[in-house]
Amino acid sequence: MQLRAIRPGEAERFAEHVFDAFDEQPPAEELTLVAAMLEPERCLVAEEDGAWVATAGASTRELTLPGGATAPCLAVAFVTTLPTHRRRGLLRALLGRLHDAAPEPVAALWPSEGAIYGRFGYGPAAWRARLTVDTARVAFRDDAPPAAAVRLARRAADAAGELARVHEAQRRLVPGVLDRPAAVWARRLADLPARRGDAGPLRAALLEDGSGYALFAVGGEITPHGAEGIARVTELVAHAPEARAALWRFLCSLDLVRTVEWPLAPVDEPLPHLLRDPRAVRSQPSDALWVAALDVPRALAARRYAAPVDVVLDAGGERVRLRAGRDGDAECVRADRPPDVRLDREALGSVLLGGTPLHVLAAAGRARGELGPLARALRTDRAPWPAEQF
């Protein structure tokens, strides 16, 4: 068995292998788009007699942390093992090589199965909400921000430059959001017929003042009982209350649309509080982005803190002293005195973005000690948002 990085000419073969391992058969255009995103030196395969039996890949991204800070992030994806080669340690070997070679202090991934990645130090750090909006019941409160001028791009790709500018200007406002290189944008906005299902083209609604946008496609049908259209939202970026309300007013007033669905909404989405009937919105939360601290001192020092703290923390056997002042800036160094707080590495990944309160882990027996000062320091004004699946 040989573990190696793929060669530049093997990018499309790597993409095809990954899709095949998940029993998917994408069109050739999708393979090309994925191959363009790959960093060959960070795409690993386990090779046996010339056949690839396991894979793991990563890309170089930047992750927003609490307080508007950012950190280089190892974005892990493309993890597969053929059924014939499971329980041989291939996943541990591939992830270990990616982690050991990574200069980034943190890593992140979207797990296909929840029971796999905790043993590698990953914990659920940013949760998503699957929103379903019944537009027939939508009536905005009298004190909700008013409508605003919206421009519709009937092909989202036509507005790619403007969308990227808005995203870049706002991505540091919410923890959990990643930067977005050009190749990632290209795949995100590619409107391939094979992806659509019963929906129409991917469109973009842009606020004229440049303060936000929504990506969506409309599907559904007209039945003997009336229109049953569904607007499927891919992304909504607008952090000012007025901009967010304006985009929701637009989406909820689309002709023939009776349902608006958004599977990757933030768990603190304010839409229900804009409506006279909050029950017009159903929300189903689930874990999404999992995070691991590859370098504990650097990971803890990279974010900002909501309150002063001076604590010695034992994270899965690694002991560090974390100090943060009133300005939120922190330093973290290795320590040798007894810890004030103990938690495992998976739990550290869960609290790093502020998405899992420390008291929740304590109630599960996953955090112990004098938790109050650290819990107050870890609080965030906004829940982390896993804006995209990678």
Spot the catalytic one: 78, 216, 250, 390. Answer: 390
Q: Is 117 a catalytic residue?
A: yes
Distances (CA, A) of 342 to 287, 291, 313, 358: 24, 18, 6, 11
The answer to whether residues 315 and 279 touch, using CB atoms and an 8 Å cutoff, is no
Burial of 377 (0-12, 13-18, 19+ CB in 10 A): buried
Element (H, E) at 309: strand 309-315
Distances (CA, A) of 286 to 213, 234, 359: 24, 17, 19
Amino acid letter, 257:
V
The answer to whether residues 281 and 271 touch, using CB atoms and an 8 Å cutoff, is yes
Spot the catalytic one: 14, 117, 216, 305. Answer: 117
Query: How many CB atoms are located within 10 Å of the residue 380 CB?
Result: 21
Spatial distance between the Cα atoms of 146 and 199, rounded to a whole number of angstroms:
29
Copy the structure tokens of residue 326.
Answer: 């009133």
Task: Indicate the SS3 state at residue 40.
Answer: helix
Which has the closest alpha carbon to 132: 279, 240, 247?
Answer: 279
The answer to whether residues 266 and 383 touch, using CB atoms and an 8 Å cutoff, is yes
Q: 213-245 burial by CB neighbour count: b if 16+ within 10 A, else e?
A: bbbbbbbbeeeeeeeebbbbbbbbbbeeebbbb
Q: How far is CA 288 from the centre of its chain?
A: 7
Which residues participate in catalysis according to the annotation?
117, 390
